[in-house]
Chain A
C-alpha cells in the first residue's frame, strides 16, 4: 500500500467510505419505507373494518351485507381494493364480498382465539403464486357475546411493487453514485496534489545540483506554505554553499602562494649543483613558508570548528587590567627589533566573564598587528576604561593605517589590505576574523577607526562582570 500513490489511496478510501454510507442509507430507507407502507395498509384496513362494522350494526346484524349499500354509505370504500368476509361466532363463513373470487381464506386459529378474547388481529398471508394479502380480523360483539367476526383484507402487491422498485433504484443508483464520486475524488486529489509534483520536480533539479531553482507558487494554502518554506530552505542552502565555495576558494588561494614559493625555490635549487649556502637559504625560506601554511591550516581549522560551534568558551571571571598589563609586556618584546614602544594609558580595574586564554589571543593579535604595522620607533597605546556598562579596550598605533573602503572588510576572512599585503611580514588574513569571533562569542564587539598614513585604533567592548 505504501507504494501506491496518495492520489490512488485517497480515491479508494473515499470510494469505500461512500459505499458504506450508501449501504447504511439504503437499508435504513428500505426499512422505514416498508414499515410506513405496512402502517398505511393497516390503517386503511382498520378504517374499512370500522365502516363495515357500523354498516353491520345499522343492518341489525342481518345476514345480508350488501357491498353496494356499503359503497353507498361509505364512498371511501368505493375503491374496493379490499374484500370483506363475515364469519359466524363458530368461525364459519356467513357472508363474503363478491371480489373474493377463487380462493377460500379460512379464519386462522389464532385470529379466532383473539376474537373470542375480543381483540383484533392483523395477519399477512402468502398464497402459492406469490400473492400476499394483509388481513384484519375484527370481532363484533353484542354485549358480552361474540356475534360476528368481520374480516377485511387487501392485496399487498402495490406495496411489494413499490418496495421492489425502491430496491431496484438503490441497487443501480448507489454504485453509480460511488463510481461518479470516485472519479470526482480522483480528479480533486490530482488537483490538490499537483503542486506536490511541482515541488518534487524542483527538488529533483536541486538535488541534481541546480540550487538556483525555486518553486513558483501564489497560493497561501498548506501546499503554498510548504513551497515557500522549501524555497526559504533552498535559499539558505544556496547562501551557505556559496559561502563555503568562497571560503575554500580563498583558502586554496592563500595556500597556493606558499606552495608556489616552496615549489619554485626547490626546483630552482635542484636545476644545478649549488653551494651549501644556497641550499641553506632555500631550506630556511621553505621552512618559513611551511610555517605560514601550517598557521593558515590551524586558523582555518579553528574558524571552521568555531562555525560548527565546537569550540568551548570558558565562563570564568577574568581580571582584565592584569591581562592587559601582561599583553603590554609581550608587546614590548615584540617591538624591540623595530624600536616600537607600547605604553599603557588609562587602566581601570576591570573584571569580565569569559575565557582568559581566548581573550589573551584576541588582545595579543590586535596588539601584535599594531606593533607590526607601526612605523619604526613608533608608539602603541593601550587603554582600558568603562563605558555604558562595558569594558572598553582600545589599541592605538601610528602606523600605515587602513583606507575607509578597507575598514569595512578587515574583519572578513582572508581579507588583507593592499598595504598589508605589501608589508614584509605576511599574515594569514584570518587573524582579525578570529578576533571578531572571540569578541562576539563574549557578547562583545570589535571596531576599527583609521586614517591612512596616520594610524589605526582598534576598540574592543566586553560586558563587565555582573552586566552580562
Chain B
C-alpha cells in the first residue's frame, strides 16, 4: 500500500511519514501543490493525504486537478481551519474524508485503513484467503491458526497481494504499491521478497497460495489448476 503526503510543513509531513512507515506503508512526501498534483496523476497511489494550505496550488486545486484526470485514489484532507465550509468544499471537490489539525495519530491511521479498505471493496477490515488471515490493525498474520512473524516489507507485500487477490500483479505494480519513489526497479528485490513470503506462508502447507505467472508476475489466491 503506497501513500502520498502533500504537506508543506516539513515537520508535520515527517511525523505522518514515519507513522505510516511504521505501519509498513510505502510513503512519498511532496511539499508543493503543483508537484503533488502531477505526482498523484503519474503514480498509482492507494491513498493521498492532502493538506489544504499549500504553496503554488492550494489543496482544493490539487484535488480538483487529480479528479479531473480521473484519478480515483481515496483522498484524506488535512485542514487547520475548523470552519465547516472548508470541509464541505473539500468533500465536494472529491475528498473522501478529512481530519482537523491537530489530530491523533491513531485516528489518522484508522481513517487511512478505512479509506483503503473501502477502495479495495473490503468491509470487515480483516483480510482472509483460504486459511490465511491478515489483520491490518494489529498486523497479525496467521495461517491455519498459526502465527506467522513477518518483517515490515514482507507484511506490506502480503497486505498488497491480499487486497488484490485473484489479480495478476506485475513487478512494476508491486514496486509501485509496496515501495516508495527511492526504490530502484532494476533489481530483483521483489523476487527475493516473494521467496521470503513463500517460505513463511506456503512452506509446510498442502495448498500453495502464492503463484508465479510466467512472464508477467505473481498472484495470490486459492490453488489454480
Given A253-B81, A257-B9, A260-B80, do A422 and B105 touch, yes or no (CB 8 Å)? no
Please tell me if B225 contacts chain A, counting CB pairs below 8 Å. Answer: no
Given A253-B81, A285-B11, do A260 and B55 touch, yes or no (CB 8 Å)? no
The one of B12, B55, B80, B106 that contacts A253, using a Cβ cutoff of 8 Å: B80
If over half of A's interface residues share one DSSP class (helix, strand or loop), that class is named, otherwise mixed; here it is helix
Please tell me if B18 contacts chain A, counting CB pairs below 8 Å. Answer: yes
The one of A249, A265, A268, A422 that contacts B8, using a Cβ cutoff of 8 Å: A422
The answer to whether B103 touches A260, judged by C-beta atoms less than 8 angstroms apart, is yes
The answer to whether B19 touches A268, judged by C-beta atoms less than 8 angstroms apart, is yes
Residues of B within 8 A of A264 (CB): 12, 15-16, 19, 102-103, 105
The answer to whether A267 touches B80, judged by C-beta atoms less than 8 angstroms apart, is no
The answer to whether A268 touches B15, judged by C-beta atoms less than 8 angstroms apart, is yes
Please tell me if B56 contacts chain A, counting CB pairs below 8 Å. Answer: yes
Residues of B within 8 A of A419 (CB): 55
A interface residues, how many (CB within 8 angstroms): 23
Please tell me if A60 contacts chain B, counting CB pairs below 8 Å. Answer: no
The answer to whether A260 touches B101, judged by C-beta atoms less than 8 angstroms apart, is yes
Compute how far the CA of A259 lies from the CA of B104 in the bound complex, rounded to whole angstroms. Answer: 11
Compute how far the CA of A253 lies from the CA of B15 in the bound complex, rounded to whole angstroms. Answer: 19
The answer to whether B102 touches A256, judged by C-beta atoms less than 8 angstroms apart, is yes
Please tell me if A418 contacts chain B, counting CB pairs below 8 Å. Answer: yes
B-facing residues in A256-274 (Cβ within 8 Å): 256-257, 259-265, 267-268, 271-272
The answer to whether B80 touches A268, judged by C-beta atoms less than 8 angstroms apart, is no
Nearest residue (CB) in B for A269 is B15
A-facing residues in B1-53 (Cβ within 8 Å): 8-12, 15-16, 18-19, 22, 31-32
The answer to whether B15 touches A249, judged by C-beta atoms less than 8 angstroms apart, is no
The answer to whether A267 touches B104, judged by C-beta atoms less than 8 angstroms apart, is yes
Please tell me if A126 contacts chain B, counting CB pairs below 8 Å. Answer: no
Compute how far the CA of A420 lies from the CA of B186 in the bound complex, rounded to whole angstroms. Answer: 39
A414 to chain B, nearest CB (A): 12
The answer to whether B102 touches A260, judged by C-beta atoms less than 8 angstroms apart, is yes
A258 to chain B, nearest CB (A): 9
Compute how far the CA of A260 lies from the CA of B100 in the bound complex, rounded to whole angstroms. Answer: 9
Please tell me if A421 contacts chain B, counting CB pairs below 8 Å. Answer: yes
Compute how far the CA of A343 lies from the CA of B119 in the bound complex, rounded to whole angstroms. Answer: 60
Please tell me if B85 contacts chain A, counting CB pairs below 8 Å. Answer: no
Compute how far the CA of A289 lies from the CA of B18 in the bound complex, rounded to whole angstroms. Answer: 18
A129 to chain B, nearest CB (A): 99
Residues of A within 8 A of B32 (CB): 422
Compute how far the CA of A285 lies from the CA of B15 in the bound complex, rounded to whole angstroms. Answer: 11
A70 to chain B, nearest CB (A): 113
Given A261-B11, A261-B12, A268-B18, do A249 and B102 touch, yes or no (CB 8 Å)? no
The answer to whether A418 touches B55, judged by C-beta atoms less than 8 angstroms apart, is yes
The answer to whether B104 touches A263, judged by C-beta atoms less than 8 angstroms apart, is yes
Give the most central of A249, A264, A424: most B CB within 10 Å.
A264
Please tell me if B83 contacts chain A, counting CB pairs below 8 Å. Answer: yes
Compute how far the CA of A246 lies from the CA of B22 in the bound complex, rounded to whole angstroms. Answer: 39
The answer to whether A265 touches B81, judged by C-beta atoms less than 8 angstroms apart, is no
A262 to chain B, nearest CB (A): 8
A-B pairs with beta carbons under 8 Å apart, 15 shown: A249-B81, A256-B101, A257-B12, A259-B102, A260-B9, A260-B12, A261-B9, A263-B103, A263-B104, A264-B12, A264-B103, A265-B15, A271-B22, A271-B105, A422-B55
Binding site for B on A (CB under 8 A): 249, 252-253, 256-257, 259-265, 267-268, 271-272, 285, 289, 418-419, 421-422, 424
Q: Sort A-B residue pairs by CB-CB distance and give the 4 closest, nearest first.
A: A418-B55, A260-B102, A260-B101, A267-B105
